[in-house]
Structure 1
Amino acid sequence: MILEILEEQQFASVKSLTEQLHSSEATIRRDISKLAELQQLRRIRGGAEVLESGDREAQRPSLNSSAFLLDREKHTATKRAIAERAVSLCEEGDSIIINGGSSTYMMGEFLNRRHLKILTNSFVLAQELVANSHNQVTLPGGEIYPRQGIVLSAFDNDTIQYYHAGKMFMGTPGIGEFGVMESDPLLIRSEQKLQRQSDELVILADSSKLGRRSNLIFTPLENVDVLITDSRAPEKMIALLEGAGIEVLIVEYVESD
């Protein structure tokens, strides 16, 4: 995970790595030392930096990126319940869109038993569905972003424009009075293209995401049709979302998360 972060950022401080990997400074420093001994990175004051390509062996990046895997490990049982509720909204033969993310990836377990037409930019979800289900799966053209496990295109003319769906399912870093949040402009552009091809927008967000802000807004609340969350969601926040015309569906929070 440290190596993947360095591949993307070129440099990372110990403090930054502890925050991204939810680990202690002692562990991060120990891992940096080991990787430096293996000549996988260069140890510098306060952190580490990537080696020049000629100084290290070429490494194929893992498709299940560190960012994707780490997020999958948070609130997994509750996310699974949210994903199951999301799939229950689909009728056999429906055409749906699923945006990449840890919450939507968990829909795969329940989609395996269905027969739907699915457009997804989640490379990892597409692999899961093709291997284990009879769903018709379509991927948009574009570049694979390994750490996020998604496919993004810089061009307007791709598969997406020819697809129409009744529902689009997506997760979010946060949702609140300002709308549905996102963390990167490239993701927003891709998600807005997907949203234009669907009739309804369904947001999957466990209670920890409610009221949380990010640096960018994907879409205002008025464009959200359904939110699926858990029983720890604050009543004030539910009232806010319902007041904006959103149907809020609640699953039971699972203590074993």
Structure 2
Amino acid sequence: MLERQRHQLLLELLDEQQFASVADLTTQLNSSEATIRRDLIKLHKEGRLEKIRGGAQRLQGAPMPSTKTHITGSAFLVNKDKATTAKRAIAQRAVQMCDDGELIIVNGGSSTFMMGEFLSQRDVSVLTNSYYLAQYLCDNGQNQVTVPSGEIYRKQGIILSPFENDSIQNYRSKLMFTGTAGIGEFGVMETDSLLVRAEQKLRKQAEKLVVLADSSKLGHKSNFILYPIDEVDVLITDDGADAQMVESIRAHGVEVILVPLAQSIAQAV
């Protein structure tokens, strides 16, 4: 992540929380404590925040931030740098499910973003609410790319509309691909109700649901159940996944594809 991107995220977190400790910022921005402390000093000198003992807060007397609703959950640019080898291997396997000439629906997220590298080499049309994926495909491929109307939520890199009529209902696809905050017998999890609403609108336009989740997501729970587990058609994860958890998901009729991670690492090297 570039310094300016990290600074923007840091300031957005202060808009949301008013105050944040160094430890909290270290976790949320996936950065070292030394890096965060340097950021706070620099932004304090620039008059963009107030550095206080143990952390930082919004400038006293500064205009209140926009009333635009914040979405709960970690930032795309932070998640993108986590479990990258597994996510890339999972994304590659997901794209192998696509047929040339077809339209697919791709929900925004760091795992599905990784599909861009492989989709850009294919004759596949893409409907996505991911600002970052749409930008990547436009810059690197010849894919026909469609995005719904709406506002861009920078932190998650997601395009969301408050209206039902946002063009999504005009499309139909065999496959929808989505990431998740967590998955298990309880279902597919999400962090925010706004994201749940947007993703369920996309799901209505696809015949099959394919979930991309690295092994750390199996068994992990979050705030909301996006889909019951028996609504998932395919789960693609890496072979580091807990065997018992995999079997419990398969017992609900889900096809589970295990991507061999060791082989993927060897190919990357």
Quick check: TM above 0.5?
yes
Deviation sequence 1:142-186 (CA, Å, 0-9, x none) = 000111111001111111111111110010011011100000111
Unaligned runs of 5+ in 1: 56-65
**Structure 2: distance between partners of 1:116 and 1:30:** 44
| Structure 1 residues 2-21: aligned runs within 5 Å | 2-21=10-29
Higher mean Cα deviation, 35-44 or 105-114?
A: 35-44
1:238 equivalent in alignment to 2:249 = no
Tell me the distance in 2 between the aligned counterparts of 1:214 and 1:222.
18
- Counterpart selection for 1:142 from 134, 146, 150: 150
Pick one of 178, 181, 192 that aligns with 2:200: 192
Per the alignment, do residues 54 and 220 of structure 1 end up closer, same or farther by CA in structure 2, a change over 3 Å counting? Answer: closer
Q: How many angstroms apart in 1 are the aligned matches of 2:146 and 2:106?
A: 10
SS in 2 for 1:166: strand
What is the deviation of 1:21? 2.2
In structure 2, the residue corresponding to 1:126 is in which secondary structure? helix
Q: Cα distance 1:27–1:111, how it changes in 2: closer, same or farther (>3 A)?
A: closer
Whether the 8 Å CA contact 1:68–1:102 is kept in 2: the answer is yes
**What is the CA RMSD across the aligned residues, in angstroms?**
2.0
CA distance in 1, matches of 2:237, 2:21: 35
Percent same amino acid at aligned positions?
A: 57
3-state DSSP of counterpart to 2:75? helix
Residue 107 of structure 1 and its aligned partner are, at CA, apart by 0.3
Mapped to 2, the partners of 1:144 and 1:21 lie a distance apart of 20
* CA distance in structure 1 between the partners assigned to 2:170 and 2:229 by the alignment: 26
SS of 2:155's equivalent?
A: coil
* Amino acid aligned to 2:55: G
Question: Secondary structure of 1:172's match?
Answer: coil
Q: CA–CA distance in 2 between the matches of 1:90 and 1:27?
A: 41
In 2: Cα distance, 1:24 partner to 1:251 partner: 31
Which AA in structure 1 matches 2:178? Answer: M
Equivalent positions of 1:161-240 (< 5 A) are 161-240=169-248
Aligned to 2:106: 98
Query: Does structure 2 retain, via aligned residues, the 8 Å contact 1:230–1:251?
Result: yes
- The residue type paired with residue 17 of structure 2 is Q
Higher mean Cα deviation, 230-239 or 126-135? Answer: 126-135
Which residue pairs with 2:256 in the alignment? Answer: 248
Q: How does 1:41-52 map to 2 (within 5 A)?
A: 41-51=49-59
What is the one-letter code of the residue matched to 2:155?
R
Q: Displacement of 1:49 after TM fit? A: 1.9
Which residue pairs with 2:69 in the alignment?
none
- Residues 236 and 44 from structure 1, CA distance in 2 versus in 1: closer, same or farther, beyond 3 angstroms? same
User: What CA distance in whole angstroms lies between the structure 1 residues aligned with 2:55 and 2:208?
Assistant: 45
1:78–1:252 CA contact under 8 A, matched in 2: no
Name the residue aligned to 1:68. 76
| SS, match of residue 114 in structure 1 | coil
Measured in 2, the distance between the counterparts of 1:30 and 1:230 equals 36
Q: CA deviation at 1:5?
A: 2.1
TM-fit CA distance, 1:199:
0.3
Gap regions ≥5 residues in structure 2: 1-5, 65-73
TM-score by length of 1: 0.89
Instruction: Measure, in 2, the Cα distance between the counterparts of 1:84 and 1:54.
Output: 45
Q: Structure 2: how far apart are the matches of 1:9 and 1:142?
A: 25
Partner of 1:133: 141
The AA in structure 1 aligned to 2:164 is: D
